[in-house]
Amino acid sequence: MKALSLWQPWASLMMTPAKRNETRSWATSYRGPLVICAAKGGLSKSDLIAEMSYWHMQSALGPLVGKPCKLPNGPTDEHPWRWNGVEWSLLPMGAALGIVELYDCVPTDKMTQEEIIIERHFGNYEIGRYAWKTRLIKVFDNPFPVKGKQGFFNVDIPEEVKA
């Protein structure tokens, strides 16, 4: 199955209701299932800890610790964030986390403010970039090791994970 590597914490965000768009500098014509993998590298430990200290990140990653994901519904919402105590060490590295369906790819400059506002902290919506629109299909109960690559690559999903 096609796969894509993301740095943490954005890979884990794709496994929550918080992140439905993956922003990239390139468009894709691919549509269909996509395994989301957490890269083994990425941010330094200190930068990852700093990223995890933001309230919006803590609120969005709440499902990792059994808490709801609370996000703003639009530009007039009050500050909805909550501190969930999600530790950086809970984020798998070098592993396949789950499957999303990639169903559309749109230039960010064609998106409305309402579309961007909810996920503005979780992607780069500058002009000239693309939002890959996804739907969550499955979160793997037991993420399995994957050697990631840049761009799309193929991953075999173990039988015990498919069930």
Task: Give domain status of residue 56, yes or no.
Answer: no
Task: Give domain status of residue 86, yes or no.
Answer: no
pLDDT of residue 136: 95
Q: Provide the residue range defining the domain that includes 152.
A: 2-42+91-162
Distance (Å, whole) CA 97 – CA 154: 14
Task: Give domain status of residue 75, yes or no.
Answer: no
Phi, psi of 50 (to 5 degrees): -65, -45
Task: Give domain status of residue 81, yes or no.
Answer: no
Q: State yes or no: pLDDT of 135 exceeds 70.
A: yes
Task: Give domain status of residue 25, yes or no.
Answer: yes
Q: How many domains does the chain have?
A: 1
Highest mean pLDDT among 20-29, 117-126, 143-152: 20-29
| pLDDT tens readout for residues 51-77 | 988 888 888 898 888 887 777 665 555
The pLDDT mean for the chain works out to 90
Burial state string for 115-126 with b = 16 or more CB within 10 A and e = fewer than 16: bbbbbebbbebe
| pLDDT tens readout for residues 16-47 | 988 999 999 999 999 999 999 999 989 999 99
Task: Give domain status of residue 158, yes or no.
Answer: yes
Q: Which CATH number covers residue 129? A: 2.30.130.30
Task: Give domain status of residue 67, yes or no.
Answer: no
| pLDDT tens readout for residues 75-116 | 555 556 677 788 888 899 999 999 999 999 999 999 998 888
Task: Give domain status of residue 69, yes or no.
Answer: no
Task: Tell me the percentage of the chain whose pLDDT exceeds 70.
Answer: 92
